[in-house]
Amino acid sequence: MVVKVSNITNEIVNLISRDNVVGLATHRHLPHEKAIYMRHGKCGFAVDVMVEESGAKVLYSILVTAEAKPKKKIVENWMEHGGRIVYYLTVKTDKGFKVKKRFSTYKNGEELFKQVEEVRQAFYRKYRDLKMKQEVVPTKVEEEVFHMVGIEERDLFLGV
C-alpha cells in the first residue's frame, strides 16, 4: 500500500512520543544518513521502541529505507531527485514476528530529510526524557553512534 510520506513520519513520531514508551535504541544513526544519501542516493535508519502495554513490555522495531530514482545514469546532486521509501514496523509476538510494510514516495531530498528530521527530534526528546527518569544526566558524547535507554541488550538481538 502506498501512503503519504508524512503519514509514515506521523506514525513513527506518535509511537516514539507515547507516554508508555520505556526504552529506545538506534541502530543506524540518523544524522549520518544525509551524508550517505549524498554519496549513494540511498539511506535508511533503524530504531527500536520499547512500550509497556497491559503490564508487559513490547518491542517495536522500525526500519525505514529510502532510495532516489533518478532518470539519468549520472547524477550531479541526489537531493534534486525523488524516490521511494519502504517502511517496516515489526513487533515480536509469542508466535514470531509480525511485520507491517508500507511504501511511499518523496519528491526530492529536501522533503525526505525534513521527514527524517522530525523523527530525529522526536527520538531525542524521548531519549532525554527517559535518561532523566533514570536519574542519569544526559551528556553530549562527541560521536555516539549507538544510543540506548530502557532496553536490555538481550531484547535487541545484537549479535544473536
Over residues 70-114, the pLDDT tens digits come to 999 999 999 999 999 999 999 988 899 999 999 999 999 999 999
- What 73-82 contacts at long range (C-beta under 8 Å, 24+ apart), as own/partner pairs, is 75/41, 78/37, 78/38, 78/39, 78/40, 78/41, 78/109, 79/37, 79/38, 79/108, 79/109, 79/110, 80/108, 80/109, 81/41, 81/108, 81/109, 82/106, 82/107, 82/108, 82/111
pLDDT of residue 136: 56
Closest residue by Cα to residue 109 from 85, 87, 75, 83? 83
pLDDT of residue 105: 96
pTM above 0.85, yes or no: no
pLDDT tens digits in sequence order for the chain, 160 residues long:
678 889 999 999 999 999 999 999 887 665 678 888 998 999 999 999 999 999 999 999 999 999 999 999 999 999 999 999 999 999 988 899 999 999 999 999 999 999 999 999 999 899 989 988 876 555 554 444 456 677 776 666 554 4
Q: Please, what sign has the CA dihedral across residues 34, 87, 14, 111?
A: positive
pLDDT of residue 1: 63
